[in-house]
Amino acid sequence: MKSQRGVQFRIWATKILKEYMRKGFALDDERLKNLGGGGYFKELLERIRDIRASEKVFYRQVLEIYATSIDYDARAEISIQFFKKVQNKIHYAIHGQTAAEVIYTRADAEKEFMGLTTFSGSQPTLKEAVVAKNYLNEKELRAMGQLVSGYLDFAERQAERERAMTMQDWAEHLDRILTMSGEQLLIGNGSVSHKQAIDKATGEYRKYKARTLSEVEQDYLDSIKLLEQKTDKKQD
């Protein structure tokens, strides 16, 4: 890069890198200076409202909000830690267990529908059996929705005020909204690993399937029963 544009780029990149090394993150000052026109915050507000209206799992909505940070960098250490803990923090705040702990303790082949409360179709699938949210009861799901809604409310209000939010701001606000609402704050990573939870759910699912009829098997038995009833009526 020997052109004037190349020289300008190197100067800009060096400045950003120095700021990143000093603070742990970098802000694009020129972008911030141009926020006054309202275009950035208008787009941000629309994005936040799209996230709210989406059908995504609650913790993924929080991740989407985090990604709107003015200094967003998925590879930054703060992002890596946020990604690793956000789901468990939300679960723990609601019922005192991490996502893995929920699956491990609630997956039970002897229970109706293996303990799942949410699934599509007439019987749960293995894919559904390894999702923590699918074991939550109505009260827990409502509480989780309210918690995430509060996070989205704050995001929307900040955009309306035209206040830029950094990754650090969003990470700290998640903890703040959990403690302010009187919820438990997760310390550590929990007592059950993701692999342990998946293995437990898979084992319970196999036992559950072994003792329950598939939909087509049930249809077959129902049809046989119906034919027998018709035969009995004819004989009468």
* Residue in 106, 139, 122, 101 with CA at minimum distance from that of residue 205: 106
C-alpha to C-alpha distance for 184 and 192, rounded to whole angstroms:
18
Percent helix, strand, coil in the chain (nearest 5)?
A: 70, 0, 30
C-alpha to C-alpha distance for 83 and 72, rounded to whole angstroms:
13
Per-residue pLDDT for 1 more than 70? Answer: no
Question: According to the model, what pLDDT value does residue 44 have?
Answer: 83
Q: Which residue has the tokens 């074991």?
A: 135
- With a pLDDT cut of 70, the percent of the chain lying above it is 76
Per-residue pLDDT for 232 more than 80? Answer: no
b/e 161-194 (16+ beta carbons within 10 angstroms → b)? eeebbbbbbbbebbeebbeeeebeebeeebebeb
Question: According to the model, what pLDDT value does residue 23 have?
Answer: 40
Per-residue pLDDT for 230 more than 60? Answer: yes
With beta carbons less than 8 A apart as the criterion, state whether 100 and 197 touch: yes
pTM for the structure as a whole:
0.70
Each residue's pLDDT tens digit, 139-182: 999 999 898 999 999 999 999 998 999 999 999 999 998 888 77
Each residue's pLDDT tens digit, 16-29: 445 444 444 444 54
Each residue's pLDDT tens digit, 25-75: 444 545 444 444 457 778 888 888 888 777 678 888 999 999 999 999 999
Cα distances (angstroms) measured from residue 181 to each of 107, 178, 215, 216, 229:
29, 6, 44, 47, 60
Question: According to the model, what pLDDT value does residue 212 have?
Answer: 82
Each residue's pLDDT tens digit, 94-134: 999 999 999 999 999 999 999 999 999 888 999 999 999 99
Question: According to the model, what pLDDT value does residue 111 have?
Answer: 95
Per-residue pLDDT for 195 more than 60? Answer: yes
Per-residue pLDDT for 186 more than 50? Answer: yes
With beta carbons less than 8 A apart as the criterion, state whether 135 and 115 touch: yes
